[in-house]
C-alpha cells in the first residue's frame, strides 16, 4: 500500500514534534493560555490527551452510576488535507456507556455526500497491521462514530502511534487522514468505559 509508505516517511520527518502536549498541538503559540483556561475548567492533561470528568448529579450519585468522562486528543498531522491539527479523536463515557468519535473531514459533511451514511477508515498502529471499519456520520456534530462492534478499543493498549486513513472526495484522490501520538493512552483507558 503506497499511501502507508508515504505517511511512514512523513512521520520520520516530523518526529521531533512528538514531544508536544495537547495545548501545543491545538493552540500553538497560545499554548500557555490554553493550559490556563483548561486547568480552570477542570481539564486534566495526560500525555497528549485532555480529559474532563463530571461527577454524577442527584439520585444518579446515590445509585452509584458513573458521571461523564470525556477524553480527546488532537491530530499531530493531517494527511493531504487543509484541516491542520484541529481534528480530534474523542472517547466519551457517560453513565457506563462508551463511545468513540473522530472529527469528520469537510468532504464527508458536504451536501454532495449527504447520501453517504458511513465512511471506511483504515487504522494502523505504528508499523503494525492495518484494519478497516466503517464509521457512521453524525452531520449534526460533524463527527464519525465508531460502530458498537469496533475492534479499535481492544487494540489501543500500549500503542503510541496511530494513523487513520480514509478515501478522498474522488476515487482518483490520495487517501486523506490523521496521525496521532497517543502518549498517555493507557492512563486514559483506565478512566473511560470502552
Tens digits of residue pLDDT in 118-160:
999 999 998 888 999 999 999 999 999 999 999 999 899 989 9
Which residues, 6+ apart, have CB-to-CB distance to 122 below 8 Å?
130, 131, 132, 164, 165, 166, 175
For residues 157 and 68, give the distance between their C-alpha atoms in angstroms, rounded to a whole number.
Answer: 22
Mean pLDDT of 151-176: 88
The whole-model pTM stands at 0.79
Mean pLDDT, rounded, of the chain = 81
Domain boundaries, given as residue ranges, for the chain? 2-189
Q: How far are the Cα atoms of 47, 78, 124, 193 from residue 19, in angstroms, in the given order?
A: 9, 17, 21, 27
The per-residue pLDDT for 174 is 84
Q: Which three three-digit cell numbers place residue 186?
A: 493507557
Q: What pLDDT, in 10s, does the model give residues 6-26?
A: 343 333 333 444 456 788 877
DSSP 184: T
Q: What pLDDT, in 10s, does the model give residues 46-68?
A: 999 999 987 766 555 444 445 78
Percent of the chain whose predicted confidence (pLDDT) is above 70? 81
Q: How far are the Cα atoms of 92, 167, 168 from residue 171, in angstroms, in the given order?
A: 33, 7, 7
Q: Is the pLDDT of residue 115 over 70?
A: yes
The per-residue pLDDT for 6 is 38
The per-residue pLDDT for 19 is 57
Residue 194 contacts residue 180 (beta carbons within 8 Å): no
Element (H, E) at 70: strand 68-74
The per-residue pLDDT for 58 is 56
Give residue 86's pLDDT band: very low, low, confident or very high (50, 70, 90).
Answer: low
Residue 156 contacts residue 189 (beta carbons within 8 Å): yes
Q: Is the pLDDT of residue 107 over 70?
A: yes
The per-residue pLDDT for 168 is 83
Higher-scoring residue by pLDDT: 116, 9: 116
For residues 91 and 194, give the distance between their C-alpha atoms in angstroms, rounded to a whole number.
Answer: 8
The per-residue pLDDT for 134 is 98
* Residue whose entry in the numeric block shows the C-alpha cell 478499543: 153
For residues 38 and 114, give the distance between their C-alpha atoms in angstroms, rounded to a whole number.
Answer: 35
For 63, counting Cβ atoms within 10 Å of its Cβ (0-12 exposed, 13-18 middle, 19+ buried), the class is exposed
The per-residue pLDDT for 162 is 94
Amino acid at each position: 500500500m503506497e499511501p502507508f509508505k508515504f505517511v511512514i516517511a512523513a512521520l520520520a520527518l516530523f518526529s521531533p514534534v512528538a514531544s508536544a502536549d495537547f495545548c501545543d498541538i491545538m493552540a500553538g503559540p497560545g499554548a500557555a493560555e490554553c493550559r490556563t483556561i483548561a486547568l480552570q475548567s477542570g481539564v486534566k492533561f495526560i500525555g497528549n490527551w485532555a480529559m474532563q470528568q463530571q461527577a454524577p448529579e442527584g439520585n444518579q450519585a446515590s445509585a452509584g452510576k458513573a458521571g461523564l468522562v470525556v477524553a480527546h486528543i488532537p491530530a499531530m498531522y493531517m494527511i493531504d488535507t487543509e484541516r491542520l491539527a484541529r481534528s480530534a479523536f474523542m472517547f466519551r463515557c457517560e453513565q457506563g456507556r462508551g463511545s468513540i468519535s473522530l472529527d469528520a473531514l469537510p468532504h464527508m459533511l458536504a451536501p454532495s455526500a449527504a447520501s453517504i451514511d458511513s465512511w471506511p477508515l483504515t487504522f494502523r498502529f505504528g508499523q503494525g497491521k492495518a484494519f478497516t471499519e466503517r464509521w457512521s456520520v453524525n452531520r449534526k456534530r460533524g463527527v464519525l462514530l465508531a460502530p458498537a462492534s469496533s475492534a479499535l478499543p481492544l487494540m489501543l493498549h500500549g500503542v503510541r502511534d496511530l494513523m487513520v486513513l480514509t478515501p478522498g472526495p474522488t476515487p482518483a484522490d490520495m487517501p486523506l487522514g490523521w496521525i496521532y501520538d497517543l502518549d498517555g493512552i493507557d492512563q486514559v483507558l483506565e478512566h473511560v468505559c470502552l
